[in-house]
Amino acid sequence: MEAKAIIDAVLDFDQEKTAQLIRDHLDQGADALAILDQALIAAMDEVGRQFSAGDFFVPEMLMAAEAMHAGLEVLGPHLARSDIKAKGTIVIGTVMGDNHDIGKNLVAMMLECAGYRVIDLGVNVSKGKFLAAAKKYQAHIVALSALLTTTLAEMEAVVADVRAKDGGSLKTLVGGAPVTASFAAGIGADGYSPDAAGAVSMARSLISA
């Protein structure tokens, strides 16, 4: 399989070409998991590297994630048919009082492309819904996003709710413009990331711990 062509299509933000290349590889008998690991996850890692290096910014990350997601939509049914288990399940949402979703959507797409099952609850999500969804889908992580400083108290309340009612097996991952590492530590969150690429790395770390 020629993974580089798919990676290049993602880095060119070409959704149609990414999807078509994956269709071609599948038609030629390529293994779906190999395409996921060697092409889409590799592309995601390269996007994260370029973001960290200052070559990509949030708009470029979002366009690349959309190209990866286009490829994942083609790949998804083949992964399901091959009975491949997801690497973990993550419930994600923007906390109550906040209707911003661009950052949350980017993190969700990146996590999906990294092989995780993502349950996206959307925006303005109450604390009870996070825990209910985590239990329903047997999630490993609850990921919380906030863009408004006024909703940080709600983020803290969700983390406290998870810690009080779950018993320790469910991890919390927080992020968003007003969120800092010290705030995350102060509210007892298990993980924090300032960006989508870091969120994927943190999710890997939390699930493997």
Helix 15-27 and helix 3-11, axial crossing angle in degrees, nearest 10: 170
Scored b (16 or more CB within 10 A) or e, 159-180 reads bebbbeebeeebbbbbbbeebe
Higher pLDDT, 86 or 121: 121
Q: Which of these, 189, 197, 192, lies nearest to 177 by C-alpha position?
A: 192
Q: How confident is the model at residue 145 (pLDDT cuts 50, 70, 90)?
A: very high
Whether the per-residue pLDDT at 158 is higher than 80: the answer is yes
CB 131 within 8 A of CB 165: yes
**How much of the chain exceeds pLDDT 70, in percent?**
96
pLDDT in tens, 51-81: 889 999 888 988 999 999 999 899 888 877 6
pLDDT in tens, 84-113: 667 899 999 999 999 998 889 989 988 988
Burial of 100 (0-12, 13-18, 19+ CB in 10 A): middle
**Fold for domain 3-81?**
1.10.1240
**Fold for domain 89-208?**
Rossmann fold (3.40.50)
d(CA 154, CA 152): 5
CB 153 within 8 A of CB 95: no
- Can you give the pLDDT at residue 24? 95
- In one-letter notation, the amino acid at residue 185 is A
Strand partners, 171: 141
**How much of the chain exceeds pLDDT 90, in percent?**
67
- Average pLDDT of the chain? 91
Q: Which of these, 128, 107, 89, 91, lies nearest to 177 by C-alpha position?
A: 107
- Can you give the pLDDT at residue 209? 65
What's the rounded mean pLDDT across residues 150-171? 92
Distances from the Cα of 116 to the Cα of 41, 109, 136, 204, angstroms: 11, 10, 16, 9
* Domain residue spans of the chain: 3-81, 89-208
